[in-house]
A and B are shown apart, each in its own frame.
Chain A
Amino acid sequence: EVQLVESGGGLVQPGGSLRLSCAASGFTFRSYEMNWVRQAPGKGLEWVSYSSSSSAVTIYYADSVKGRFTISRDNAKNSLYLQMNSLRAEDTAVYYCARAAAGSDYYFDYWGRGTLVTVSS
């Protein structure tokens, strides 16, 4: 059974940093592209970042987080990460780890339950 479990969320002050983790199990993690998607309270879904599966990793970011967030992965630990720096109030959201479908980068076939990040003083 595919499982994605996010952790690392919490309350942080504006300008602060936080590192999210996503522990994957039930599939060959190193073979899949992975993403972070967020959802502000009461709002819709927003894609945040993408990491390819290959050793020469290809990475993309949404314009709203580019230069502040860094995605990474450790295939030996079956884990995906999101380092978030210079956090703003508008970064407050539930952050989901989402797997790209096999053979297609274009949609997400499994999601974690999310971890809540609150940016507030």
Chain B
Amino acid sequence: SYVLTQPPSVSVAPGQTARITCGGDNIGVKSVHWYQQKPGQAPVLVVYDDSDRPSGIPERFSGSNSGNTATLTISRVEAGDEADYYCQVWDSSSGHPYWVFGGGTKLTVL
């Protein structure tokens, strides 16, 4: 089965740039999607298809994907961005479709 690897935690000062990585075997050929989850709340889609943003998501959120690593970049980080972030891909290498999530990264705003 396909495995996505995220760092458990990332810390950044307000106003700085946060980069959250998502590693997977040749992930660059897949479409990667990112979700934000605040404590006690449902996940919210923040980036889809590597780098597209749903309506209502600030331009500060961007994504990239190449080789074995996808990256969610949050520019000009705000206190309200503190949350868990999950990457996700669709994979069928095991014989049937699977929606695979990374283990999640806790973003701490210092």
- A interface residues with partner B (beta carbon < 8 Å): 35, 37, 44-47, 50, 60, 62, 96, 101, 104-109, 111-114
Interface centre among A45, A46, A104, A113 (most CB of B within 10 A): A45
Interface centre among B45, B86, B100, B104 (most CB of A within 10 A): B45
**How far, in angstroms, from A114 to B88 measured CA to CA in the complex?**
19
Q: Which of B44, B90, B96, B101 lies in contact with A45, CB distance below 8 A? A: B101
A62 with B42: CB separation less than 8 A: no
**How far, in angstroms, from A109 to B97 measured CA to CA in the complex?**
18
A113 with B42: CB separation less than 8 A: yes
Interface size range on B against A:
20 to 34
A109 with B103: CB separation less than 8 A: no
Contact count A vs B, C-beta below 8 Å:
61
- B 38-49 binary contact with A (CB < 8 Å = 1; else 0): 000111110011
The B interface is mostly helix, strand or loop, or mixed, namely strand
Residues on A with C-beta less than 8 A from B45 are: 107-109
**How far, in angstroms, from A101 to B45 measured CA to CA in the complex?**
10
Residues on A with C-beta less than 8 A from B100 are: 47
**How far, in angstroms, from A33 to B89 measured CA to CA in the complex?**
16
B42 with A47: CB separation less than 8 A: no
Min CB gap B43→A, angstroms: 5
Residues on B with C-beta less than 8 A from A35 are: 99
Q: Which of A47, A104, A112 lies in contact with B98, CB distance below 8 A? A: A47
Instruction: Jot down 14 A-B pairs with beta carbons below 8 A, ordered by A.
Output: A44-B102, A45-B35, A45-B43, A45-B104, A47-B100, A47-B101, A96-B42, A104-B49, A106-B31, A106-B90, A107-B45, A108-B45, A111-B43, A112-B42
